[in-house]
Amino acid sequence: MGRIDGGPFTCCCCRYQIVVIDDSARLDSHLLGSAWRRIAMKAGGLVCSSFQSLSSCTRSAAHRSISGKSSLLRSFGGSDFSRKIQFSVFGISKYQIRRIGATAASSMAASFSPEQARVPPAVSLPSPPINKFKIGLCQLSVTDDKGRNIKHARKAIEDAASQGAKLVLLPEIWNSPYSNDSFPVYAEDIDAGGDASPSTAMLSEVSRLLKITIVGGSIPERCGDRLYNTCCVFGADGKLKAKHRKIHLFDIDIPGKITFKESKTLTAGESPTVVDTDVGRIGIGICYDIRFQELAMLYAARGAHLICYPGAFNMTTGPLHWELLQRARATDNQLYVATCSPARDAGAGYVAWGHSTLVGPFGEILATTDHDEAIIISEIDYSNIELRRTNLPLEKQRRGDLYQLVDVQRSSGETH
């Protein structure tokens, strides 16, 4: 805590401090709103722009407490800032008016550091291995033939890579129909690999051969007696770098429109996922995860450059929220957001909306498509993240004295 006129700026139980900033228009508004107010709060006191702005009862109490004094507030004239923010000091029984000189005021304001709005504090944006690269979004048609789906996905990945993509994103549930009946039938043991997981075996092989990073959409995963909706990330060496199990299960009931409950068959994941790759630090969410802004904020606080959301929004929520949520997550966190949906099959039990999209850190749509099969190729330039965060320095302006986002895993030392 700063010192004023040589004494500590503290409060005991019998004193209530009033900090009067006589010429508040000359003080930086952010410092007035944060530094001074917070300093007074910690001192158990009150900040106002002038004595006259105190409530009438407080003014009266202050006047009564210093009866016999010639003046409560002595304003110094002239245009010099160092003179205009000086105050008289009165030793009073209940209220204290503190005199703050220009030097002390500037020093206290400059040294003020608000509480972090993220706990632990946000990680600095890491320097990516590559600043510019192409991403491929493979919006695929899905059938009830798993073998066909795997071959079709491989062909799409190869096509995207041939167009220069260094990162390829697949849709949610691309190897299976999207239904609770299908999930147990098409589920794979990812940890066992090989024949037990032909979908991930293909992703591993093709990422190694093409030397690209693949965010492999999602597939039903079997682990013991549980099923998960799981996204696997493979590096350019073909190795599994991360596995994200869908955290927020899609349970929805809109009468006359759609009813679906993933929780009938699937188990929710228990861990957010941020992974360092050859194309930067990537946060992973699956479909319904995009609705929860805290997850995206957590990824941004962990230093993600990009969040990938394989998803299969439907014909009810898709036109209402799909684009809106993508742009919101990108804008709020000033990073890139990429989504990939299955292509629309009007005859399927669950009809996907499509419209796979890449959104930039200013909320701008960089590339998108309609509902048909497509491979979207677009460029990501991470220098735009720093540019937008300089234009709008949201992280520096967060009010950690009023609200905080707690990263439970990082707080407990479970992750980086």
- Name, in order, each residue with C-beta under 8 angstroms of 20's C-beta and a sequence gap of 6 or more: 48, 49, 50, 51, 73, 87, 97
List the catalytic residue out of 287, 323, 340, 395. 287
- For residue 230, what is the enclosing H or E element? strand 226-234
Nearest to 247 by CA among 223, 273, 224: 273
Measured CA to CA, the distance from residue 349 to residue 334 in angstroms comes to 36
Owner of token pair 């930086």: 28
Count H helices and E strands in the chain, helices first: 14, 22
- Look up residue 288 and give its DSSP letter: G
Residue 246 designated active-site: yes
Residue 172 designated active-site: yes
List the catalytic residue out of 172, 221, 262, 323. 172
3 state SS of 112: coil
Measured CA to CA, the distance from residue 234 to residue 242 in angstroms comes to 7
- Name, in order, each residue with C-beta under 8 angstroms of 91's C-beta and a sequence gap of 6 or more: none
Measured CA to CA, the distance from residue 3 to residue 25 in angstroms comes to 23
Measured CA to CA, the distance from residue 415 to residue 304 in angstroms comes to 14
Task: Report yes or no: 231 and 339 within 8 Å, Cβ to Cβ.
Answer: no
Q: Which two tokens stand for residue 347?
A: 């005859």
Owner of token pair 């969040």: 307
List the catalytic residue out of 166, 246, 262, 308. 246
- Name, in order, each residue with C-beta under 8 angstroms of 353's C-beta and a sequence gap of 6 or more: 312, 313, 314, 315, 317, 318, 319, 322, 341, 344, 371
Measured CA to CA, the distance from residue 297 to residue 330 in angstroms comes to 10
Owner of token pair 């898709």: 318
Helical H segments across 24-181, by residue range: 29-31, 37-42, 56-65, 81-84, 102-111, 146-162
Nearest to 375 by CA among 123, 187, 164: 164
Residue 158 designated active-site: no
Measured CA to CA, the distance from residue 45 to residue 42 in angstroms comes to 7
Residues that are catalytic: 172, 246, 287
